[in-house]
Amino acid sequence: MGAVVHKNDPEGEFMTLGARYHGQDQYTFNPPSSVIVAENGDIFVADGEGPNNRIVKYAANGITFWNGERRVRTENSDTP
């Protein structure tokens, strides 16, 4: 399956985060090591098994990355 996180919601919608290959850009993991879904639906992915060493937050208002030294925010995301 690659370096992906799958999400199914109660309405049957299926979402894939990541890709079938490892990577270091904002859309890939290297690979994910843990996932937590907050009560409000935000998804936090620990991408720490490779060189990425970051936490990625997927929310309705965009994607945010934390890697220990900096925080990068991408607005107007299509997730979730």
Counted domains in the chain:
1
Burial of 38 (0-12, 13-18, 19+ CB in 10 A): exposed
Three-state SS at 11: coil
Three-state SS at 47: strand
Three-state SS at 56: strand
Q: Pseudo-torsion of CA 64, 38, 42, 30, nearest 10°? A: 60
**Does a structural domain hold residue 32?**
yes
**Does a structural domain hold residue 7?**
yes
**Does a structural domain hold residue 80?**
no
Q: Supply the pTM of this predicted model.
A: 0.70
- The pLDDT of residue 68 is 60
Averaged pLDDT in 10-residue chunks for the chain of 80 residues:
78 84 78 90 85 84 72 49
- What backbone torsions phi and psi does residue 68 show, to the nearest 5 degrees? 95, -35
Range of the domain at 26: 3-75
**Does a structural domain hold residue 50?**
yes
**Does a structural domain hold residue 43?**
yes
